[in-house]
Amino acid sequence: MTDIVRPYPWLATRWQEITRLADAGRLPHALLFAGPKGIGKQSLAEALIARTLCAAPGEFACGQCHACQMLASGYHPDLMRVSPEEGKRQIRIGPVRDVNAFVSQTAQQGGYRVIVIAPAEAMNVAASNALLKSLEEPGGKTLFVLLSDIPSHLLPTIRSRCQQWSLATADEAQSLAWLGERLGGEEDARFWWRASGGLPLRALELADPESRALRQQLHETFDALVRGAEPVAEAARLDRQSIDAILWYGIAWLEDLIRLGLSGVSAELRNPDLLPLYRQAVKNARVRDWFRLLDYAREQRRLLAEGNNPNPQLVLEAWLVRWAALLRS
């Protein structure tokens, strides 16, 4: 018997809604699970895939039948997964043509054919257009499961052919209980839950020693910039770190800073331990300037995610130069 595939506890309500549809024979042929990275949508998808392919499903896949055993081994003939090739950021047309051929075949196990595309927004325009025919005419017992961190980056024609399930928030009590078990206490769980913006898997990542070290290094970098340090030199000290992670922290801190600048209230800050730095920043620059920097950071992160910027170090240098200018203005 294999482990039963279940979604994370904070997604239990959504899971019950999906299984009710499936049991009533009203599950759509294409589902789009949309929500920020760290919310756990992959677990919901995996539980649905397992239950759909299972020969004797109950609330979850049984974990005992031949289909469940095949899935646990890493191969099921009626399951196709599509994602960017290793080292690539885009899903190109070739794998989607394979999907079109796959859905035209009869399921080998006599049940559903399931196609998983993640992240769906990685499909380029040609791949997206190639997928439309299969989404429009999938045939019987075919289930598409698309996962997306940023559904707005999907073609509208793809979104319109899927039933979208928004997974924007996680239940706080269930998330904290889950995190507390893994982090060894409620205090740590609550701190990292707050810092993550309410994303349990992101919170777990942030609590990892390596992520904590980066966060501390960035804190020291911004303290140094306030004291007049040279931003290009500070960027050089960060050159071995992930620019995506650095920008993620910077965006979260800017959102905190703007929140403080607009309301003057610190109770809602995601990173209350950074309050002294925020107060110094609010004192030195106008809120609209921080909004501009936030827009810049989001745009650079988007370009990097799409592979449109060849030099992450230049992005980091330019970003720290902008921070430094505002911190000292």
Is the preceding omega at residue 272 within 30 degrees of 0, hence cis? no
pLDDT at 222 over 70: yes
Distance from CA of residue 292 to its chain's centroid? Answer: 24
Percent above pLDDT 90 for the chain: 82
The answer for 89, left when phi > 0, alpha when psi is -120 to 50, beta otherwise, is alpha
pLDDT at 275 over 80: yes
What whole-number distance in Å separates Cα of residue 72 and Cα of residue 110? 19
pLDDT at 327 over 90: no
Pairing of strands 79-82, 30-34: unpaired
Measured CA to CA in angstroms, residue 97 lies from 60, 128, 137, 193, 215 at distances of 31, 10, 14, 41, 43
pLDDT digits (tens, 9 = 90+) for 141-164: 999 999 999 999 999 999 999 999
What whole-number distance in Å separates Cα of residue 294 and Cα of residue 249? 11
- The residues that bridge with 144 in the sheet, in sequence order, are 30, 115
User: What pLDDT does 309 receive?
Assistant: 61
pLDDT at 225 over 70: yes
pLDDT at 190 over 80: yes
User: What pLDDT does 310 receive?
Assistant: 63
User: What pLDDT does 311 receive?
Assistant: 84
* Under 8 Å between Cβ of 123 and 58: no
If you average pLDDT over residues 15-25, what whole number do you get?
96
The rounded mean pLDDT for the chain is 93
319: helix, coil or strand? helix
If you average pLDDT over residues 47-58, what whole number do you get?
97
**Which is more confidently placed, 312 or 68?**
68
If you average pLDDT over residues 28-34, what whole number do you get?
97
pLDDT at 58 over 90: yes
Residue 273 — very low, low, confident or very high, per pLDDT cuts 50/70/90?
very high
* Under 8 Å between Cβ of 148 and 120: yes
**Which is more confidently placed, 141 or 285?**
141
Work out the number of other CB atoms within 10 angstroms of the CB of residue 16. Answer: 11
141: helix, coil or strand? coil
CATH topology of domain 9-166: Rossmann fold (3.40.50)
Evaluated on CA atoms 85, 90, 94, 97, the torsion sign reads positive
The identity of residue 179, as a single letter, is L
What whole-number distance in Å separates Cα of residue 128 and Cα of residue 151? 13
pLDDT digits (tens, 9 = 90+) for 302-325: 888 776 766 888 999 999 999 999
If you average pLDDT over residues 247-273, what whole number do you get?
94
Residue 1 — very low, low, confident or very high, per pLDDT cuts 50/70/90?
low
User: What pLDDT does 137 receive?
Assistant: 85
Across the beta sheet with 113-117, the strand order is 79-82, 113-117, 142-148, 30-34, 163-166
CA atoms within 13 A of residue 155's CA, in its CB half-sphere: 15
- Give, rounded to a whole angstrom, the gap between the first and last alpha carbons of the chain: 64
In eight-state DSSP terms, residue 269 is -
Domain extent listing, the chain: 9-166, 208-328
Predicted model pTM: 0.91
User: What pLDDT does 329 receive?
Assistant: 65
CATH number of 208-328: 1.20.272.10
**Which is more confidently placed, 226 or 53?**
53
pLDDT at 36 over 90: yes
If you average pLDDT over residues 9-34, what whole number do you get?
96
If you average pLDDT over residues 133-141, what whole number do you get?
88
Helix orientation angle between 243-263 and 209-226, rounded to the nearest 10 degrees: 60
Joined together, the tokens standing for residue 30 give 């294409």
Please report the DSSP string for 156-180 in residue order.
HHHHTTSEEEE-----HHHHHHHHH
What whole-number distance in Å separates Cα of residue 173 and Cα of residue 195? 16
Residue 169 — very low, low, confident or very high, per pLDDT cuts 50/70/90?
confident
Find the Cα–Cα–Cα–Cα dihedral 312, 314, 317, 323, rounded to 10°: -80
